[in-house]
Every structure is written in C-alpha cells, then in structure tokens.
C-alpha cells in the first residue's frame, strides 16, 4: 500500500484551510453588502427625553442609505409623524442623495408625545424609527439632542434621479420663532455614514486562502 507522505498531508490540510477561509470571507462580504442598507438616526426630541411645554422645539433626524433616497413629488420619500399626524419638514440632501437630514419646529402641550419616521430608498428598502418624549410645563430639556447640521451639506443639495428633468431639492431654512418662545438646541454634525464597508478581515482571509491553495498545489506536484 502506498504511504502518504507528510508533505501530502500538509498540502491537503492547507487546501482545506484555504477553502474554509474563502467561505468565511464570502459570508463576510455578503453581510457587509446587506448591513445597514438604510437607517434613521439622531431623532430629536430623543427617546426618553423631556422638553419644555408650549414652546417651539426642534424636530429633526437623519437618514443614511447605500442607494439614493427615493423621491415622491420631487421630495425625499420620508414620512414624519408627530403623535400619529404627518407634519411638513424641510430637507437637506447630501451628495448622491445618500444622506438626508430633516427638521422643523413644533410646540408640544404638557404630556407624552411620539415622533415616528419612515424612509425608503430607490432599491425599495425601508427604515423606521420612533422616539417617545415628554413635554413638561415650565421645564427645560433633560438632554441636549443631536440633530442635523445644515451647513455640513450646504454645498451638496442636488438630488440624483433617473431623468434629467428632475429638479433639485433645495434646503429651506427653518422658520424662526420669537426669541422669547424658542428653546434652542445644539445640533451635531451630519454623520458620514452609509452601508457597512467590505471588511478588511474578509479580504485578508481571501488572500490567505489563495496563498494556501497555491502552496498545496505546489506540494502535490512534487
């Protein structure tokens, strides 16, 4: 019976390890492509926060997507509900329509309130987010909420669409209430986010697998 040399055994083991590394890498690439296709973040007022009652309060948030945000009547397909009622908001659209900020102001009566946001991209993917907060008579905000910064995308407000006749979505300033009635908040900078990038670990695993297969083939040929 022919004996199997240690080199042949090593070559087989390297081939098996290479195959496993490639499988892991492919799963990693697939997960990276599908993760966070569209997401909503930084809702203001934030979940669990308190705001002063009967004062103009900023309502805002962000949408990040791997493909362009969808349009309805030449506006981003984003629905904002306050206590279940749709409200009009101003949009700030980043380059390629991959990042969208929205904001408006609204006064809330004392008690519990909800903010719900739904968004859809051109790939047909949707995202939903919700915050529940409380308006307190004579109170002050319990948390300084993060909100979109308009100046972060002031130079990129054109919406990319399939037809050349689609108009740009312009950023319109939020109406300003009287100084005595407006509760100011400090917005945070627009995050540069999107779909999860292809992991470096996945690419490294592919490279290791290819080297291992090559080494195994050379040992077999000997």
pLDDT greater than 90 at residue 15: no
More confident residue, 91 or 190: 91
Q: What pTM was computed for the model?
A: 0.51
Taking residues 155-178, report their average pLDDT. Answer: 44
Q: What is the pLDDT of residues 88-127, one digit of tens each?
A: 999 999 988 899 999 999 999 999 999 999 999 999 999 9
Closest by CA to 196, choosing from 38, 27, 35, 68, is 35
CATH no. of 38-153:
2.60.40.650
Distances, alpha carbon 46 to alpha carbons 75, 185, 218, 222, in Å: 25, 12, 61, 67
Q: Which of 61-65, 136-140, 192-196 has the highest mean pLDDT?
A: 61-65
pLDDT (0 to 100) of residue 159 = 43
Distance CA 47, CA 191 (A): 19
SS (H, E, C) 84-128: CEECCCEEEECHHHCEEEEEEEEECCCEEEEEEEEEEECCCCEEE
Res. 179 pLDDT band, cuts 50 70 90: very low
Q: What is the pLDDT of residues 25-81, one digit of tens each?
A: 555 545 445 555 999 999 999 999 999 999 999 999 999 999 999 999 999 999 999
Taking residues 202-218, report their average pLDDT. Answer: 58
Portion of the chain with pLDDT greater than 70, in percent: 51
């Amino acid at each position: 019976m022919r004996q199997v040399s240690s080199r042949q055994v090593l070559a087989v083991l390297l081939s098996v390890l290479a195959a496993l590394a490639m499988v892991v890498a492919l799963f990693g690439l697939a997960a990276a492509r599908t993760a966070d296709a569209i997401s909503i973040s930084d809702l203001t007022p934030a979940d669990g926060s308190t705001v002063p009652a009967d004062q103009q309060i900023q309502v805002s948030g962000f949408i990040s997507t791997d493909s362009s945000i969808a349009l309805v009547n030449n506006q981003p397909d984003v629905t904002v509900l306050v206590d279940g009622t749709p409200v009009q908001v101003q949009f700030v659209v980043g380059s390629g329509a991959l990042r969208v900020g929205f904001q408006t102001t609204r006064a809330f009566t004392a008690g519990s309130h909800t903010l719900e946001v739904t968004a859809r991209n051109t790939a047909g993917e949707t995202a939903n987010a919700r915050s529940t907060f409380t308006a307190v008579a004579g109170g002050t905000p319990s948390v300084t909420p993060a909100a979109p910064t308009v100046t972060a995308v002031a130079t990129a407000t054109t919406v990319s669409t399939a037809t050349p006749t689609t108009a740009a979505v312009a950023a319109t300033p939020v109406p300003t209430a009287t100084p005595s009635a407006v509760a100011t908040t400090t917005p945070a900078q627009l995050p540069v986010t999107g779909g999860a990038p292809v992991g470096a670990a996945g690419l490294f695993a592919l490279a290791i697998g290819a080297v291992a297969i090559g080494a195994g083939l050379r040992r077999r040929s000997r």
